[in-house]
Amino acid sequence: MEEIKHLNTQNDIDELRTIFDGLVVKPKLVTLGEALENDWEPKPKDHLRLAKHLLENKELEPVVAENFREKMSIHKYNENFHATKLIWLINEIRTKGLYSVPQAWMNGNKWKVHPGTHRVHALIHLNKLDQEFVLWDKESTLNNPLDFDTWLGLFSKSDNNMFAVLKPNILEMHVSEDRNEMYANSIKVMQTVKEVKFTEESLLNYSF
């Protein structure tokens, strides 16, 4: 059973520390390069697949706040939105850096990245092999475990609101995104792909 814990007060943080200290497994830091070298990423070419999908479905209207609930239940629109989000993330990382450290846990011999499902593909496209990820892995002795303050500090670098999702054996930290900026980008991307001829790579490299 998942539980959401908002971090609004020092008492909230102290309660989260108690939960963290009670976990048997503590998170570690690994790099994207380590993950790719160990073949943990199940979809290392997903950035190209999403770009291809968008170019093949460029006639669709953009997904924005007003139609989000309706359109995200339709596969083609869902994929297009995630493609435009990926493009937004690539540009954000290139110009501003990451607003939050991506996280993952091991599922057999592959990792499951969340939050950061699309950030991992943006980082692969940008070849940011030194980018660190928080990894929860009960099997591996790889790298040193993080203490609570170091772990929490990884998510406290932005002014965005944070909350924790308590799952069995892990704590998943969420940092709010600028959805308005993302929706504006969706409109811009969908307009531009109708006017400019792109390949998958050139679309992902374009500065929107």
| pLDDT by residue, tens only, the chain of 208 residues | 689 999 989 999 999 999 999 998 899 999 999 999 999 999 999 999 999 999 999 999 999 999 999 999 999 999 999 999 999 999 999 999 988 899 999 988 999 999 999 999 999 999 999 999 999 987 766 788 999 999 999 987 767 788 999 998 899 999 887 789 999 999 999 999 999 999 999 999 999 8
The Cα-based distances of 65 to 57, 82, 136 in angstroms read: 20, 14, 33
Query: Going by DSSP bridges, is the β-strand pair 110-113/103-107 parallel, antiparallel, or unpaired?
Result: antiparallel
Q: Note the pLDDT of residue 156.
A: 79
- At residue 193, what are phi and psi to the nearest 5 degrees? -70, -20
Q: Looking at this protein, which amino acid is placed at residue 58?
A: K
Structure tokens at 200: 């998958």
Q: How far apart are the first and last CA of the chain?
A: 40
> What is the number of alpha carbons within 13 Å of residue 5 lying toward its C-beta?
22
Query: Going by DSSP bridges, is the β-strand pair 170-175/162-167 parallel, antiparallel, or unpaired?
Result: antiparallel
Q: Note the pLDDT of residue 140.
A: 65
Residue whose tokens read 């596969």: 75
Q: Note the pLDDT of residue 14.
A: 96
- At residue 184, what are phi and psi to the nearest 5 degrees? -60, -40
Measured CA to CA, the distance from residue 89 to residue 32 in angstroms comes to 16
Strand partners, 28: 135, 145
